[in-house]
Chain A
Amino acid sequence: MVLVRIAAAIPLMLVATFAVFALSVFLPGDAAQTLAGDGASQQRVAEIRHTLHLQDPLLQRYGNWLGNAVHGDLGTSLFSKTPVMHEIATRWSVSASLLLLAVIISFLIGVPAGILAAVYRGRPLDRASTFAATFGMAIPPFVLGIVLVIVFGVWLKWLPVGGYTPFAKSPVDWFRSLVLPAFALSGVLAATLARQLRGSLADVLDEEYIRTARAKGLRGSAVVLKHGLRMAAGPVASVMAVYIGRLIGGAVVVEAVFNLPGLGPFLVSSLLSRDLPVVLGIIPFTVLIVILLNLLAEVTRGLLDPRFARSAV
């Protein structure tokens, strides 16, 4: 089943990469003018355009790119002259660290908040959780990021204002450099998680078998955690996969705000300079991550809820 899902990703990759290629046609200007340097003659610009095959028909260019890509060659950046694979390899760990930490923080905040809201539904704690979640969903990560920088970096001086320390160099500094950006990024996910879990768990807690469990004399926390949460987690996992995919978009901005050398700012600068090979390298990479996350969510749901696993297969 997993293999089928991965196979289904192939046409999706083709569509995504072709869409990027096609959209690039509508962008004004190309890399040739910049590559030619200051004060370069138009003949020189044309020469570079010719060397890079920038004026070849779209399908031909896409075909060439695809032919190389399936052989594992994503080409070289037009500006840095380094292989695109190398550029991605030196940056993905920053983005992955950020995303991972953001997901962990989201769960640490969202799960308890969701459970408490569901158990105490209708009471002040539920309303407080709802308010906090609405706020979390409404505030964009970069705004939250700037606020966090001002409070924890500038006023309190507890954490660095920006920059990145690799894990290998110092795990403590690595963590310190990622806490604020990960927290800023986790806002939406934590809020969504809390809301989804509250809804899903509230439904489950009204089910008859929960009442039976309580009647058997099980403690309230055991009922919620053992029986309730297991059933409620399935639907939440599916929704989460979608939201974690969206985090990648938020990470682009958060990395820029916190001056993290990840894939995000690199993608933006490559887009601005029309470094198409780099853009085309990063897009399938992120598509792949989103597909894998969805797959992971389905597998998780299957493990939590055997009924779902059977029906999905």
Chain B
Amino acid sequence: MQHKRSRIGAAALVIVTGLAAVAVGAGSGSGTAAAATVAKGAASYDPNAVLKMPLPTPQILDPVRAVNACDVNILSPIYDTLIRTDPKGKYIPGIAASWSAPDASTFVLKLRPNVKFSDGTALDAEAVKASITRGQTDPSSVVKTALSPISAVTVVDPTTVKLTLSKPVVGLMTSLFAGRAGMIVSPTAVTAAGTAFGTTAANAVGAGPYKMTTFQSQGDYASTAWKGYWDSKNRKLAGLKLTNTQGATAGYGPFITRLAQGEFDALSMKEADIAVARAQPNLVVKTGPSELMMQLMINYNKAPFDNKAVRQALEYAVDRPALVAAIAQNLGVPADGPLPPTSWAYNPALKGMYKYNPTKAKALLKKAGLDSVSFTASVPNTSLYVQLATAVQDMLKKSNINMTIRQVAGQDINTELYVKKTDPAGVTGWSEAADPGDFFNVKYASNGSNNAAVTAIPGLDDLLAQGAATTDQAKRAVAYKKAQKLIMDQAIEVPLYFAPAVTVASKKVQGIPKAYSTCVDANFVTPSISMKK
């Protein structure tokens, strides 16, 4: 969890799914929540159904102060976002009906008229400005760094907001406002609650499909549909009721049993307990690749990885499909590069680039003038990562590469790898941001906060800048595809596989997509979840 490092390492990441966000469901169906029986061509659903799930519930219901990456899923039903992401990663309108980028340093958001927060306050340009400013200035803000390129927020008219950027990174604004920074909070509630905003059900006020009725930090969470929500035609549930899993200490078995007994409707879990779920005749189990990349992370500025041939040897020395079979119960997807095949910016040309080949690996070592290589890798001390590291260790040995495993506390892996940099490598997980721009800038740009090497790879910073300079997703994809090629040519990362996401639901739940992200950065839009009558 918990409280776990939000983006890296913590196995708890795998727990959370986009289910809660899916439940928000601004879907393509056309059922109305009020009369609500039949969505066009779809089965009927119960407009009075409350979806009940066990989840790691947030510590605070504040988009800019809740620290865990997965908290966004649970915040999005309360706080609608300016921009939404569809299941394919395309940015589509949310509270903002449209947006434009007159130049690479200007971003203009055009809001829908007459949108209201659940407390009746108008969601206008002033409210958006107040929300963004709060993200930039709150002493506990987790989006302060992400919002730092915005130098001015101007209210042009009640439905138009203009952002002036200090750098040409307008391409990063769409994902930013499809995530926490785009979750607009009620200025009335913020003024009234002050620093207590988001600590109670009453003062956590947004413009999402549901409003809170019960909230305890890391405890019970209940929300209900409210009259006046701008997109109510796409809301198919009467509310959400979440029970905190507290990290599922005893595994998912007890939760699966409670689900099978009818206490819950749906659950997202780790693949380890999938057999238990599959054994239940009244449950539906779905799997798909997530955005949690299992990786052999290397610091390419430190010996022995300051040598390209050694790095490439490492790429050939890992048998990715074998790892998927051994560690992920054959449910994950071998990684060709740092993005999963489901990403809109995935480069298919990378497929099969580094097929397992110990002979080639040894030849590359020879080329570097070495018979063998030894190094130490930091590994989170949770069973999944220790198992993975041990399997990698065995594989590497066959190519004369000796890896020593040094276990560190799961929540400290980030600090170990990117701040202290004790070891030149790590075997860990990296939960990717929905937009490759955010993720690549942090991990591969020469000044990225999670680039341990802090050294420029010639041409890479330029490609990342190109990807950030436009909001045109097709143009951005071209730049990021080239960036992936360069990253893999230079072998500055050894992606292993994308961990599976597993969801289990009762047969009453309908509209669950096949593939899940372990963490979705915004409202997951279509198809929406609903419950059978």
In the bound assembly, the distance between CA atoms of A28 and B146 in angstroms comes to: 26
Of residues 6 through 33 on chain B, the ones whose CB sits less than 8 Å from some CB of chain A are: 6-7
**Contact residues in B for A28 (Cβ distance below 8 Å):** 408-409, 412, 415-416
**A122 interfacial by beta-carbon distance below 8 Å:** no
Stretch in A54-62, A109-117, A154-162, A213-221 touching the partner: A154-162
Asked if A273 contacts B2 (CB within 8 A), the reply is yes
Q: Indicate if A202 sits at the interface (CB-CB under 8 A).
A: no
B3 and A153 form a contact (CB under 8 A) = no
Q: Considering the chains assembled together, what is the distance between the CA atoms of A153 and B255 in angstroms?
A: 11
A125 at the interface (CB under 8 A from B): no
A256–B249 CB distance below 8 A: yes
- Secondary structure of the B side of the interface? loop
Q: Tell me, rounded to whole Å, the shortest Cβ–Cβ distance linking A79 to chain B.
A: 4
CB < 8 Å: which of A33, A37, A41, A90 contacts B216? Answer: A90
User: Which residues of A sit under 8 angstroms from B7, Cβ to Cβ?
Assistant: 38-39
Docked-complex contact B245 and A266, CB < 8 angstroms = no
> Taking A29-B415, A265-B246 as contacts, is the C-beta distance between A36 and B145 under 8 angstroms?
yes
Find the A residue at minimum CB distance from B263.
A163
In the complex, per-residue mask of A83-94: 1 if CB is within 8 Å of any chain B CB, else 0: 000010011000
Contact A34–B140 (Cβ < 8 Å)? no
Q: Is the CB of B60 within 8 A of A34?
A: no
B 411-434 to A, binary, CB cutoff 8 A, 1 in contact else 0: 110111001000000000000010
How long is the Cα–Cα vector from A188 to B246 in the complex, in angstroms?
25
- Would A153 and B246 be within 8 Å (CB), given that A29-B411, A39-B146, A81-B196 are in contact? no
Provided the pairs A34-B5, A40-B449, A161-B254 are in contact, do residues A259 and B246 lie with their beta carbons within 8 angstroms? Answer: yes
User: Contact at B3–A33, with CB atoms within 8 Å?
Assistant: no
Chain A window 24-60, contacts with chain B (Cβ cutoff 8 Å), 1 for yes, 0 for no = 0000110001111111111010001001000000000
Cα A90 to Cα B255 with chains together (Å) = 23
CB distance from A29 to the nearest CB of B (A): 4
Q: Are A272 and B258 touching (Cβ within 8 A)?
A: no
Assess the B142–A40 pair: CB atoms within 8 A.
yes
Chain A: CB-nearest residue to B448: A39
Contacts of A64 in B (CB 8 A): none
Determine whether A149 belongs to the interface, using a CB cutoff of 8 Å to chain B.
yes
A82 on the B face (CB < 8 A) = yes
A181 shortest CB reach to chain B, Å: 11
A-B contact count (CB 8 A): 153
A68 interface hit (Cβ, 8 Å): no
CB distance from A119 to the nearest CB of B (A): 40
Q: Check B67–A39 contact: CB distance below 8 A.
A: no
CB pair B250–A79 under 8 Å, yes or no, is no
Q: A39-B450, A269-B3 are in contact. Are A161 and B247 (CB under 8 A)?
A: no
Contacting pair A34 B218 (CB below 8 A): no
Cross-chain contact A265 with B254 (CB below 8 angstroms): no
The winner among A42, A153, A154, A275 for most chain B CB atoms within 10 A is A154
Q: Is the CB of A90 within 8 A of B219?
A: yes
A311 interfacial contact with B, CB 8 Å: no
Q: Mark A11-23, 1 if CB is under 8 A from B, else 0.
A: 0000000000000
In the bound complex, CA of A139 to CA of B3 (Å): 31
Interface contact A161-B258, CB-CB below 8 Å: yes
In the assembled complex, how far is the CB of residue B75 from the closest CB belonging to chain A, in whole angstroms? 14
Residues in B whose Cβ lies below 8 Å from that of A51:
139
Interface pair A261/B67, CB less than 8 Å apart:
no
Taking the nearest CB of chain B, how far is it from the CB of A260, in angstroms?
Answer: 9
Is A42 within 8 A of B258, CB to CB?
A: no
Residues of B within 8 A of A37 (CB): 6, 67, 141-146
A170 at the interface (CB under 8 A from B): no
Does B257 belong to the interface (CB within 8 Å)?
yes
Q: For A39, what are the chain B residues with a Cβ–Cβ distance below 8 Å?
A: 7, 145-146, 433, 438, 441-442, 448-450
| Contacting residues of chain A (159-199) with chain B, CB-CB under 8 angstroms | 160-163
* A38 near B409: Cβ-Cβ < 8 Å: no
By a CB distance below 8 angstroms, the chain A residues around B246 are: 256, 259, 261, 265, 269
Give the residue name and chain of the A residue nearest to B438 (CB). Answer: A39
- 9 nearest CB pairs, A to B: A37-B142, A273-B3, A80-B217, A256-B249, A39-B442, A265-B246, A80-B59, A79-B59, A29-B412
Residue ranges of A at the interface with B (Cβ–Cβ < 8 Å)? 28-29, 33-42, 44, 48, 51, 77, 79-82, 87, 90-91, 142, 145-146, 149, 153-154, 157, 160-163, 253, 256-259, 261, 265-266, 268-270, 272-273, 275
Apart from the given pairs A28-B409, A82-B196, 12 other A-B contacts in the complex at a CB distance below 8 Å: A37-B145, A38-B433, A80-B217, A91-B219, A149-B254, A154-B257, A160-B258, A162-B255, A163-B263, A272-B1, A273-B2, A273-B4
Q: Can you report 22 residue pairs joining A to B where beta carbons are below 8 Å apart?
A: A29-B409, A34-B5, A36-B142, A37-B67, A37-B144, A38-B69, A39-B433, A40-B144, A44-B144, A80-B60, A90-B216, A153-B254, A163-B258, A257-B250, A258-B254, A259-B245, A259-B250, A259-B255, A265-B249, A269-B3, A272-B3, A272-B411
